[in-house]
Amino acid sequence: MKTLFFFLLANYILSMVIAYPYLSYGPTTEDLWAWLYAHVAFLSTFAILMMVLGLLLYPLTRFIKSPIQLFSIPPTLLFIFQVLLLIDVRIYEIFRYHINGLVINTITTEGAGDSVHLGRTTITILLLILTGILILEWGCLWGLTRYFSRHSQRVSHHGLVKRIPVVLFLLVFMVVMTDKIIFAYANFYDKTNIIRYQKLFPLYLPLFADETIEKYLGWKKEKSPIEYRAKSSLLNYPLKEFRMEENLKPINMVWIVIDSWRFDMLNEDLTPRIKKFSESSLVFENHYSGGNATRFGIYSMFYGIYGTYWHQILSERRSPVLIDVLQKMDYDFKILSSTQLSYPEFRKTAFVNLPPNAIEDRLPGNGGDDRDPIIAKKFTEFIKNHDRKRPFFSFMFLDAPHAPYRYPKEFARFQPAADEINYFEVRKAHAQVDKNHPLFNRYRNAVFFSDSVVHEILKALREENLLDSTAVVITGDHGEEFYEAGYYGHTSAFSDFQIKVPLILYIPGEKPGKVTRLTSHLDVVPTMLSLMGSQMDPSLYSHGHSLTGKTEDRYVISSGWDTFAMIDPGATLVLSTEIYNARTAEVRTGQYQLADDPKPVLAVRTKQLLELTKNLSNFLK
pLDDT digits (tens, 9 = 90+) for 4-47: 888 899 999 999 999 998 888 766 666 788 888 889 999 999 99
**Whole-prediction pTM:** 0.73
Position 112 scores a pLDDT of: 44
Highest mean pLDDT (candidates 97-101, 307-311, 522-526): 522-526
Which strands sit side by side in the sheet containing 392-398, from one edge to the other? 359-360, 332-337, 392-398, 252-258, 470-476, 503-506, 282-284, 513-515
Per-residue pLDDT tens digits for 576-607: 876 655 555 788 998 898 888 888 888 898 88
pLDDT, mean over the chain: 86
In angstroms, the CA 204 to CA 114 distance is: 34
Using an 8 Å Cβ cutoff, are 548 and 524 in contact?
Answer: no
Alpha carbon dihedral 263, 264, 267, 269, in 10-degree steps, equals -140
> What number is the average pLDDT over the span 327-353?
94
In angstroms, the CA 558 to CA 293 distance is: 10
> Percent of the chain scored above 90 by pLDDT?
53
pLDDT over threshold 60, residue 156: no
What does each C-alpha distance from 426 to 405, 418, 422, 446 come to in angstroms? 14, 11, 6, 17
Q: How remote is the C-alpha of 462 from its chain's centroid?
A: 37
User: In angstroms, how far apart are the furthest CA atoms of the chain?
Assistant: 93
Which strands sit side by side in the sheet containing 586-589, from one edge to the other? 556-559, 563-568, 571-576, 586-589, 593-594
Q: What angle do CA 417, 419, 420 make, to 5 degrees?
A: 115
What SS3 state is found at 265?
A: helix
Using an 8 Å Cβ cutoff, are 44 and 94 in contact?
Answer: no
Cis peptide before 512 (omega within 30 of 0): no
What superfamily does domain 252-551 belong to in CATH? Alkaline Phosphatase, subunit A (3.40.720.10)
Spell out the domain ranges in the chain. Answer: 2-217, 252-551
Q: Where does the pLDDT of residue 225 fall: very low under 50, low under 70, confident under 90, or very high at 90 and above?
A: very low
| CA end-to-end span of the chain | 44
Q: What angle do CA 518, 521, 526 make, to 5 degrees?
A: 95
Burial annotation 218-230 (CB, 10 A radius, 16+ → b, else e):
eeeeeeeebebeb
pLDDT over threshold 90, residue 94: no
In angstroms, the CA 509 to CA 254 distance is: 16
> What number is the average pLDDT over the span 388-411?
96
In angstroms, the CA 301 to CA 522 distance is: 6
What SS3 state is found at 505?
A: strand
Position 497 scores a pLDDT of: 96
Higher pLDDT, 178 or 227: 178
If you compute the radius of gyration of the chain from its CA atoms, what whole number of angstroms results? 28
Per-residue pLDDT tens digits for 471-498: 999 999 999 998 888 888 888 889 999 9
Q: Where does the pLDDT of residue 222 fall: very low under 50, low under 70, confident under 90, or very high at 90 and above?
A: low
In angstroms, the CA 128 to CA 85 distance is: 16
Position 62 scores a pLDDT of: 73
Position 238 scores a pLDDT of: 94
Q: What are the backbone angles phi and psi of residue 184, rounded to the nearest 5°? A: -60, -45
Q: Where does the pLDDT of residue 460 fall: very low under 50, low under 70, confident under 90, or very high at 90 and above?
A: very high
Position 96 scores a pLDDT of: 64
In angstroms, the CA 77 to CA 356 distance is: 53
What does each C-alpha distance from 12 to 23, 44, 146 come to in angstroms? 16, 11, 21
> Percent of the chain scored above 70 by pLDDT?
87
Which H or E run contains 335?
A: strand 332-337
pLDDT over threshold 80, residue 457: yes
Could you tell me which residues come within 8 angstroms of residue 131 by beta carbon, excluding any fewer than 6 positions away? none
Position 223 scores a pLDDT of: 47
Residue 348 exposure: Cα atoms within 13 Å on the Cβ side: 28
Query: Pick from 300, 250, 362: which is nearest to 565 by CA?
Result: 300
In angstroms, the CA 443 to CA 417 distance is: 9
> What number is the average pLDDT over the span 210-234?
63
In angstroms, the CA 409 to CA 272 distance is: 18
What does each C-alpha distance from 312 to 97, 148, 249, 370, 423 come to in angstroms? 11, 47, 32, 35, 35
Query: Pick from 260, 239, 241, 211: which is nearest to 478 by CA?
Result: 260
Position 169 scores a pLDDT of: 83
Position 431 scores a pLDDT of: 44
Higher pLDDT, 120 or 145: 145
Q: How remote is the C-alpha of 99 from its chain's centroid?
A: 16
Per-residue pLDDT tens digits for 252-276: 999 999 999 999 999 999 999 999 9
DSSP letters, 88-120, are HHHHHHHHSS-S-HHHHHHHHSTTGGGT----H
3-state DSSP helix/strand/coil % of the chain, to nearest 5: 50, 10, 40
What does each C-alpha distance from 422 to 482, 489, 605 come to in angstroms? 14, 13, 42
Using an 8 Å Cβ cutoff, are 283 and 499 in contact?
Answer: no
